[in-house]
Chain A
Amino acid sequence: MMKHLPPTLRRDHRYLKISIEADESKNFSEAVQIIKYAVKDFAGEKGLAEVQPWLLKRKFDESNQQAIVRINKDYEGLFRASITLAKYKIITLECSGTLKSL
């Protein structure tokens, strides 16, 4: 097994709590598609590779339609801009550098 990277060389994350407002409630895989396509539509494939959005399955709240997305720290602005122009209304509720504080 390859040796782990030291903490200083690891990628920094940003965790954003988002809320999806649509007529029908969305399940986890639909939410993933919505987020992914929102970034891809706005920023293209290169942007998607830079933002690296990742929805956390265990934190997905289907009843309230809230989710936590992990993104690359340096591309928070690009992610926020992308979701403003998404097909459904997505708003960010909270933002943090650690998952624990959300």
Chain B
Amino acid sequence: MTGFHDFFINSNLEQFHDWKEESVELNTVILDASSWGELKRKITQNREKADILAFKGGDEKLNRKAVEEPRLDVLLHPEKNREHSGLNHILAEKAAENYVAIGLDFSYLYHSSRRDLVMKDWRKNIKLLEKYNAPYIITTRAQKSYQLRAPRDLASLINELGGSGQKAVKETPSKILERIKKRKNPDFVNPGVDEVKE
């Protein structure tokens, strides 16, 4: 599949497979924080140097804060270690508003002892995200070659859970890449604010 991007894999794997995608050269930072203050500080520290800034979700309050933060690009596995899916209609709406993509983590699903529960959460989240037109992506987070999966197969998994596979593996990642290009533009000030020269 051309135009496929998986931002959270080991970049050596991409070169090994000769994908020749733009995502090879990207600097991806995945943040982990236990409080909003810590997360805010880490975002400020890493935003300048990182192309893609992701946050490992799972905490109810931090999930909410993450989707309200336009400086973040991806919120990974909001359903992790939770009894419910980690998203609701408000969070989905905020994610769409601030363009924070929800990351469906394939490695979390694959290594989970209760795949049925994870897929139940994915199905619920995808339904909400589709309703509010919020972005979502799927990532394998592969560090080794045997953890990689074919993009069409990943897309099929999303399709089976009621979402759009094309959107998850292709459309949203390419929009994120566009945002990165825009951010690197010298006229860029803040999300939604550009300097206009007369």
Contacts and interface: CB of A to CB of B under 8 A. Distances in A.
Chain B at the A interface: mostly helix, strand, loop or mixed?
Answer: helix
Given A77-B156, A77-B159, A77-B160, A84 B149 contact: yes
A68 to B, nearest CB: 16
Interface residues of B, number: 16
A20 to B, nearest CB: 11
Contacts of A76: 156
A78 interface: yes
Interface residues of A, number: 13
Contacts of B147: 89
A43 to B, nearest CB: 9
B146 interface: yes
A72 B115 CA distance: 25
Contacts, number: 40
B19 interface: no
Contacts of B189: none
A89 B146 contact: yes
Contacts of A79: 156
Contact of B156 (A21, A84, A89, A91): A84
B160 A78 contact: yes
B154 interface: yes
B36 interface: no
Interface of A: 21, 76-81, 83-85, 89, 91-92
